[in-house]
Amino acid sequence: MPLMTTKPMFDLAYDGGFAIGAFNVNNMELAQSIVDACVKESSPCILQISKGARKYANIRYLKAIIDAAVAENPTVPIAVHCDHGDTIDLIQTCINDGYTSVMIDGSHHPYEENVRLSAEAVKLAHANGVVVEAELGMLGGIEEDVVGMDAHEYEKNVEKFLTDPVEAADFAKRTGIDSLAVAIGTSHGAFKFKHEAKLAFDRIEQIMKTCPGLPLVMHGSSSVPQEFIDLVNKYGGAMPNAKGVPEDQIAMAVQKYGVCKVNIDTDLRLAMTAKIREVFATKPAEFDPRNYLGPAREAITGWCSGSCTC
């Protein structure tokens, strides 16, 4: 099965009350573990490549790894998505590189500039058979080049940063986007919240009413599994207050509301880091990368197996 867009995935997800997991890829082990998990779960797969990943790994290497995964697993529907593209030039480059889906993130711009930028991205992408995700509202936290609000400041003033349902309808109509990333109280990174997370389900419900049928996307949605935090801290790490989005709240957003895509990055990093730290601490003579990247890959596959679809 060749690479595909996310549209048929989202059509099934929207009607079926589930979401597709979208996982960030930076190297071979991440790509292998994500796809292996999706094979085990017979799940569609969205592989996300950020601007930071392009810089770190070189898109030629990443794309070759993904092409190998497609060839090795012909029954698994796979889409390649640009995560947080911030310029039209980057969107064009991603299209040229064979992406099937792109995100244009103009959420940090004034509303009218976000509309103009997103509409331009849609015009360019659709002409090449590529679908477009855009973002409206603002998240907290930091993810690579994406800098949101300070977590404490965000929690104190979260209402003012949430996606406006009326604006969302206007935005979708004027841009022609295929999916919308919404701000509903989630946050980027491992230290998402100072207190217990509470997503704005009423806001999602309002957006569903003003934008019927529009697939919604949750960014900043890693659950930050305690088992990996404990391993990181046990073996020399310093993440005492890491806190993610509770899995039951993610499930509710997906099953009851129109969320069709859930972005996961932090959890993958935590799983990899935790297992590598464990090997280094318990086997200090180990120097073969296969013997610490292998366990890291297995840990990611095991965790992703429960998160391919939500």
Q: Name which of 248, 268, 209, 279 is nearest 83 in CA terms.
A: 268
Whether the Cβ atoms of residue 310 and residue 304 lie closer than 8 Å to each other:
no
pLDDT of 94 strictly over 70:
yes
For 46, phi and psi rounded to 5 degrees?
A: -110, 115
Percent of the chain residues topping a pLDDT of 70:
88
With respect to residue 2, please indicate whether it lies within any of the assigned structural domains: no
Burial of 27 (0-12, 13-18, 19+ CB in 10 A): middle
**DSSP string for residues in 115-128:** HHHHHHHHHHHHTT
Catalytic residues: 83
Q: Read off the pLDDT of residues 11-55 as tens digits, 9 standing for 90 and up.
A: 999 889 899 999 999 999 999 999 999 999 999 999 999 999 999
Q: Read off the pLDDT of residues 148-199 as tens digits, 9 standing for 90 and up.
A: 555 555 555 567 779 999 999 999 999 999 999 999 887 665 544 555 667 8
Helices and strands (DSSP H and E) totals, the chain: 14, 10
Strands 259-264 and 216-218: parallel
What's the mean per-residue pLDDT of the chain? 89
Domain containing 211 equals 8-304
Q: Read off the pLDDT of residues 259-286 as tens digits, 9 standing for 90 and up.
A: 999 999 989 999 999 999 999 999 999 9
pLDDT of 142 strictly over 60:
no
Which 8-state DSSP code applies to residue 194? S
With respect to residue 18, please indicate whether it lies within any of the assigned structural domains: yes
The number of domains in the chain is 1
Tell me what pLDDT residue 141 has. Answer: 53
The pTM of this model reads: 0.91
Tell me what pLDDT residue 191 has. Answer: 46
Whether the Cβ atoms of residue 263 and residue 245 lie closer than 8 Å to each other:
no
Q: Determine the 3-state secondary structure of 107 from DSSP.
A: coil
With respect to residue 155, please indicate whether it lies within any of the assigned structural domains: yes
Residue 179, both tokens: 């999916």
With respect to residue 309, please indicate whether it lies within any of the assigned structural domains: no
The one-letter amino acid at 71: A
pLDDT of 119 strictly over 60:
yes
CATH, residue 35: 3.20.20.70
With respect to residue 63, please indicate whether it lies within any of the assigned structural domains: yes
> Helix/strand/coil (H, E, C) string of 132-173?
EEEEECCCECEECCEECECHHHHHHCHHHHCCCHHHHHHHHH
With respect to residue 94, please indicate whether it lies within any of the assigned structural domains: yes
With respect to residue 275, please indicate whether it lies within any of the assigned structural domains: yes
The one-letter amino acid at 97: D
With respect to residue 200, please indicate whether it lies within any of the assigned structural domains: yes
Strands (E) located in the chain: 20-24, 45-50, 78-85, 101-104, 131-136, 142-143, 146-147, 179-182, 216-218, 259-264
Tell me what pLDDT residue 158 has. Answer: 62
